[in-house]
């Protein structure tokens, strides 16, 4: 089955700096890669996703890049703000097979003033 590894497990940045979280996956058939943000005590919520037919996707301060050859994808947050502090999860799935998402173990991002 799919295995998703996520790094780093914790990340501390100064407000206004950029943050990068990286994930690798094992199943070359995976073609859907979402990122979820989970604030303390809240449910995970989708912030951006990318499919294997594109290499990059951007939404305001958030971008995701995908390298299919190397089987890794990354989340980039620019101009970080205190409200970006949360746990971020990457995930991967493929068409069929129940479209099961396999999640990474999460990155605790802390944006310091």
Query: Smallest distance, Å, CB 102 to other proteins?
Result: 8
Size of the site for other proteins (CB under 8 A): 22
Q: Which of 12, 58, 105, 112 binds other proteins (CB under 8 A)?
A: 105
Task: Yes or no: say if 67 and 53 are a contact pair by the CB < 8 Å rule.
Answer: no
Task: Yes or no: say if 93 and 30 are a contact pair by the CB < 8 Å rule.
Answer: yes
Q: Which of residues 41-100 bind other proteins (CB under 8 A)?
A: 42-46, 49, 89, 93, 98-100
DSSP notation for 51-91: ETT-SEEEETTEEEEEETTTTEEEEEE-S--GGG-EEEEEE
42 or 58: whose CB is closer to other proteins? 42
Query: Smallest distance, Å, CB 97 to other proteins?
Result: 10
Residues that bind other proteins (CB under 8 A): 1, 6, 9, 32, 34, 42-46, 49, 89, 93, 98-106
């Amino acid at each position: 089955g799919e295995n998703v590894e996520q790094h780093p497990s914790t990340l501390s940045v100064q407000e206004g700096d950029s943050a990068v979280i990286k994930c690798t996956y094992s199943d070359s058939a995976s073609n859907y890669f979402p990122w979820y943000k989970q604030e303390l005590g809240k449910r995970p919520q989708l912030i951006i996703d990318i499919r294997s037919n594109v290499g990059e996707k951007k939404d305001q301060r958030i971008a995701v890049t995908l390298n299919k050859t190397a089987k890794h994808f990354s989340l980039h947050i620019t101009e970080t703000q205190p409200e970006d502090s949360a746990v971020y999860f990457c995930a991967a799935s493929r068409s069929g097979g129940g479209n099961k998402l396999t999640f990474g173990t999460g990155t605790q991002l802390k944006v310091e003033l």
